[in-house]
Amino acid sequence: MHPIKTPTRLFATLLTLLALDLQAAEGLKVHMLLVTPDNEVYASHIKGAVLGQTEGNIQGRFLGIDYQLEEVSAASGAVARDGISAVIVAAPFDQLLQVYETYAKSGVPVFNIALQNDGLRQVCRPGLYHTPPSDRMLADAEQQWAKVNDGAAITALAWHPEFVKFAGRDLNKRYTEQFGEPMDSAAWAGWAATRIVAEAVVRTSSNEGPVLNAYIRDELGFDGQKGLAQTFRNNGQLRQPLLLQDAEGQLVGEAPVRGAVADTNDLDSLGIPGCL
């Protein structure tokens, strides 16, 4: 911002900023792409992303913001288009990276909502975000549980349809009412991505990729309805509490696990803390 020399210039600058701010907030269109091959494997991820878009539009109604979520094939996702605010990808590794390469140069944030491999996190590309927990995070959660509970066979998850704390009950209800089935981890990962885009849009009053990217990377504290505000690591992984279920699929606890770690609010006890 250029230095302001006189009171009248200050006044004019403030008026302009105010006008721009109002303009940006009203009638803002946010065009998101959902890149996915035609495969049942990604059905829940897609539903989750759609729920997030629906909720973004409920908020958007009060602010004059409209979110469009356009589903496209992987081939289509590899061809750069203008006016895209964010790209959500539910696809295998190669297709994800191709989409990322397509949009990275224009600074549009790209979200992986399906893949859990740690290798993917460690490629450490700026503007590539991962909402599902990584395999290592899940393993760490299970190990923490085993430390304080002998012998129980346990599975760690991003989400559980019977989770009621932190308004989890309400999120589960909304998903089930919209889709007629329980909300699973895949759906939560899809939901998180579109809700994160919406959060960035309303906090910045912008639909521009690089602006959203900077906010998501540096300022975002996302309410993923698991209690703690969720932030992104420098390797693009969304820090998050995890849920634990037993062999019968019953919800038994949360990670970080009390008694296994010094501070259950420290989400870096799950997974690799960042780019090495």
Partner 1 sequence: MNKLSAKPRLRMLAGLPLLLVAGLLQAQTHRLFVTNEGDNTVTVIDSRTLKVEATIAVGNRPRGIGFSPDHSKVYVALGDDDAIGVIDTQNLTLVDTIPAGSDPEAFAVHPGGNLYLSNEDDNLASVLDPVSREILAEIPVGIEPEGVGVTPDGSKVLVTSESTNMVHVIDVSQNAVVANILVGARPREVTFTADSKWAFVTSEVAGEVAKLDLATNKVVQTKSLQEIDGVKPKGVLLSPDEKLLYISTGRSNSVAVLDAETLELIDNIAVGNRVWGIALSRDGSRLYAANGVSNTVSVVDTATRKEIATVDVGDMPWGVVLDD
Q: Which residues bind partner 1 (CB under 8 A)?
A: 55, 58-59, 62-63, 167, 170-171, 173-174, 199, 202-203, 221-223, 225, 227-229, 263-265
**The one-letter amino acid at 114:** A
CB of 14 to partner 1, least distance (A): 15
CB of 62 to partner 1, least distance (A): 4
3-state secondary structure the chain: CCCCCCHHHHHHHHHHHHHHHHHHHCCEEEEEEEECCCCHHHHHHHHHHHHHHHHHHHHHHHHCEEEEEEEECHHHHCCCCCCCCEEEECCCHHHHHHHHHHHHCCCCCEEECCCCCHHHHCCCCCCEEECCCCHHHHHHHHHHHHHHCCCCCEEEECCCCCCCHHHHHHHHHHHHHHHCCCCCHHHHHHHHHHHHHHHHHHHHCCCCHHHHHHHHHHCCCEECCCCCEECECCCCEECCCEEEEECCCCEEEEECCECCECCCCCHHHCCCCCCC
- Which of residues 53 and 112 has its CB atom nearest to partner 1 in the complex? 53
> By the 8 A CB rule, do 275 and 124 touch?
yes
CB of 174 to partner 1, least distance (A): 8
- Which of residues 110 and 192 has its CB atom nearest to partner 1 in the complex? 192
- Which of residues 202 and 270 has its CB atom nearest to partner 1 in the complex? 202
Give how far Cα 229 sits from Cα of 91, 103, 194, Å: 27, 27, 16
CB of 117 to partner 1, least distance (A): 29
- Which of residues 67 and 100 has its CB atom nearest to partner 1 in the complex? 67
CB of 73 to partner 1, least distance (A): 31
CB of 254 to partner 1, least distance (A): 12
CB of 224 to partner 1, least distance (A): 9
- Which of residues 31 and 203 has its CB atom nearest to partner 1 in the complex? 203
Q: How far apart are the first and last CA of the chain?
A: 35
- Which of residues 2 and 62 has its CB atom nearest to partner 1 in the complex? 62
- Which of residues 135 and 223 has its CB atom nearest to partner 1 in the complex? 223
DSSP-assigned beta bridge partners for residue 30: 67
